Amino acid sequence: MGKAEARTEAELAAQVVIGSKDKEISRLQDRLQYYEAMIHEMSQNNLEFMEVARRHRERRRGKRKWLWRCVGMSIAIGASVIAYSYAPHHHQSLENVNDTHPEAS
């Protein structure tokens, strides 16, 4: 009978230890689930931040392209105006022609 009592006491002690280990495992699983949820949320926030940053870069790049296009068009128009001002004009009035050749009158 001493062996039966010792076995019963050992089983009770083992059940107490197993119960405390089960509680610890449950606590650690809850903690793991919390950390996984936190990591997922942080990952989502990071993706959103990267998307916002990408859109901001594209907007800046678009503004920069627009600025350089305006500068290029201004240079092209300015060069055209300068070239036109140096080009000879064939639409002279009769008075200008007569003034340059006074003997013809």
Segments making up each domain of the chain, as ranges: 2-87
What global pTM score does this model have? 0.51
- Residue pair 98/104 in contact (Cβ under 8 Å)? The answer is yes
pLDDT of the chain, 105 residues: tens digit per residue: 778 888 898 999 999 999 999 999 999 999 999 999 999 999 999 999 999 999 999 999 999 999 999 999 999 999 999 999 998 877 655 455 555 555 554
Query: What is the per-residue pLDDT for 2?
Result: 79
CA atoms within 13 A on the CB side of 99: 5
